[in-house]
């Protein structure tokens, strides 16, 4: 229960919370290793309690170690159950995140909104730095994503439909052991590549089209994220030029990564390459984001990020150039920040 102890330490430093009440589903998985609980109470002292409804109770008992497991019966008010279990009605509670109606119900149960404080940042900071086991799971999710990308590459040809490429890639990932996709697979061709998140089209790939493939796998709740942009048939000089610029931007950014470096510096390193090539207006998103239990988490690689990189961070590096009406290129890998720099976790094949 190192993760829980780490949170207790962070709470001790703050010196104002009696308990941390966790509701966010990724945070619940993070601390319990289990998906399907309703809440977790982590008191400063003593055992933590996982609140589970009848539907998942038996599975939780079988799979969760080191936590009290409390059944929340059908019709029972979760917030009142938590408040009763927590006791100590004068105390202050840290909360990670809640919808507005649940927040009101919790406030009522503990005796006032002034007893609640949003402290999701404490958990954000913990989840940013992956331990060895988490890194191993992400590594495996990345390997599976590579298998999917390899299959996408083999499937892309003039005349193929976007959805067929996506289906083959996802099938390959399943066969390689994926628990599911990390997010909806994107296959975008031709002018659609100018939309960074194109999903609704089902174009038939034409000669000379860019084909952008963005996919990821999930392995025991941990995720991966990779993008490649291919050309069907023969590419033009302009296409090659754009692809080279994006590739160079990614390479320079990855070379810049090491512990102690500000995340915004890494974003700016890639952005500078693209600006110098004259495409500055067409890199319309952040350079990258953390990957773990969620496909978008901390740290963030953006121009206004306050994160500073640490060994154990896992981030994407994904520069792109998107030219309206023409198409676009994005190249993305999931990267581990190591003591010495960065290790690419995706991109095992030559694509």
- 49-53 and 39-43 beta bridge pairing: antiparallel
Residues 261-320 that bind Mn ion (CB under 5 A): 316
Question: Within the chain, where are the H helices?
Answer: 2-14, 25-32, 54-63, 78-86, 100-110, 120-128, 132-155, 162-175, 237-256, 263-276
The least CB distance from residue 71 to Mn ion, in Å, is: 38
Q: Using CB under 5 A as the criterion, what x/- string covers residues 159-198 for binding Mn ion?
A: ----------------------------------------
From residue 129, how far is each of 19, 139, 197 by CA, in Å? 23, 15, 28
DSSP 332: B
Residue from 162, 225, 297, 307 binding Mn ion (CB under 5 A): 225
Q: Which is nearer to Mn ion, 106 or 295 (CB)?
A: 295
Q: Computed from CA positions of residues 16, 14, 48, 78, in that sequence, does the dihedral angle turn out positive or negative? A: positive
The least CB distance from residue 219 to Mn ion, in Å, is: 17
The least CB distance from residue 288 to Mn ion, in Å, is: 7
Q: Which is nearer to Mn ion, 4 or 300 (CB)?
A: 300
Q: Computed from CA positions of residues 157, 158, 164, 165, in that sequence, does the dihedral angle turn out positive or negative? A: positive
Q: Using CB under 5 A as the criterion, what x/- string covers residues 81-100 for binding Mn ion?
A: --------------------
How far, in Å, CA of 64 to CA of 50, rounded?
9
- Residues 6 or more apart whose Cβ sits within 8 Å of residue 19: 41, 42, 43, 44, 86, 91, 93, 94
The least CB distance from residue 225 to Mn ion, in Å, is: 4
Closest CA to 253 of 244, 263, 241: 263
Q: Which is nearer to Mn ion, 163 or 197 (CB)?
A: 197
**Span near Mn ion by CB under 5 A; candidates 90-98, 222-230, 237-245, 301-309:** 222-230
The least CB distance from residue 223 to Mn ion, in Å, is: 10
The full length of the chain comes to 351
**Dihedral, CA of residue 166, residue 171, residue 174 and residue 179, to nearest 10:** 40
The least CB distance from residue 332 to Mn ion, in Å, is: 5
85 alpha carbon, distance to own chain's centre: 33
168 alpha carbon, distance to own chain's centre: 23
Q: Which is nearer to Mn ion, 250 or 316 (CB)?
A: 316
The least CB distance from residue 3 to Mn ion, in Å, is: 25
Closest CA to 36 of 48, 52, 23: 52
Q: Which is nearer to Mn ion, 134 or 225 (CB)?
A: 225
Packing angle, helices 78-86 and 100-110, rounded to 10: 40
Q: Which is nearer to Mn ion, 96 or 333 (CB)?
A: 333
The least CB distance from residue 316 to Mn ion, in Å, is: 4
Q: Which is nearer to Mn ion, 225 or 294 (CB)?
A: 225
- Residues that bind Mn ion (rule: CB under 5 A) add up to a total of 2
Q: Which is nearer to Mn ion, 49 or 250 (CB)?
A: 250
DSSP 228: E
Q: Which is nearer to Mn ion, 83 or 144 (CB)?
A: 144
The least CB distance from residue 197 to Mn ion, in Å, is: 10
The binding site for Mn ion (CB under 5 A) comprises 225, 316
């Amino acid at each position: 229960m190192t993760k829980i102890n780490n949170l207790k330490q962070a709470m001790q430093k703050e010196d104002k919370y009696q308990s941390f009440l966790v509701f966010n589903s990724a945070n619940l998985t993070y601390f319990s290793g289990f998906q399907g609980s309703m809440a977790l109470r982590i008191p400063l002292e003593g055992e933590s309690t996982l609140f589970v409804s009848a539907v998942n109770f038996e599975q939780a008992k079988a799979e969760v170690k080191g936590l009290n497991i409390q059944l929340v019966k059908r019709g029972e008010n979760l917030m009142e159950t938590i408040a009763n279990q927590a006791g100590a009605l004068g105390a202050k509670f840290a909360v990670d995140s809640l919808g507005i109606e649940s927040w009101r119900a919790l406030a009522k149960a503990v005796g006032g909104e002034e007893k609640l404080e949003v402290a999701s940042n404490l958990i954000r900071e913990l989840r940013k730095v992956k331990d060895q086991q988490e890194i191993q799971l992400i590594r495996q999710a990345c390997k599976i994503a590579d298998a999917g990308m390899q299959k996408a590459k083999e499937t892309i040809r003039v005349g193929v439909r976007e959805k067929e490429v996506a289906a083959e890639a996802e099938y390959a990932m399943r066969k390689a052991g994926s628990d599911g996709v990390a997010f909806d697979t994107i296959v975008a061709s031709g002018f659609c590549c100018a939309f960074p998140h194109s999903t609704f089209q089902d174009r038939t790939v034409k000669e000379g089209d860019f084909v952008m493939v963005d996919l990821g796998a999930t392995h025991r709740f941990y995720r991966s994220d990779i993008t490649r942009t291919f050309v069907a048939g023969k590419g033009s000089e302009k296409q090659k030029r754009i692809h080279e610029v994006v590739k160079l931007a990614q390479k320079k950014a990855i070379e810049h990564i090491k512990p102690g470096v500000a995340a915004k510096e890494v974003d700016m390193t890639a952005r500078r390459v693209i600006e110098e090539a004259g495409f500055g207006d067409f890199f319309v998103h952040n350079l990258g984001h953390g990957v773990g239990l969620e496909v978008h988490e901390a740290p963030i690689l953006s121009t206004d990020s306050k994160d500073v990189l640490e060994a154990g961070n896992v981030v994407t590096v994904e520069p792109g150039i998107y030219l309206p009406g023409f198409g676009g290129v994005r190249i993305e890998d999931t990267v581990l920040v190591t003591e010495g720099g960065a290790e690419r976790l995706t991109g095992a094949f030559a694509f």
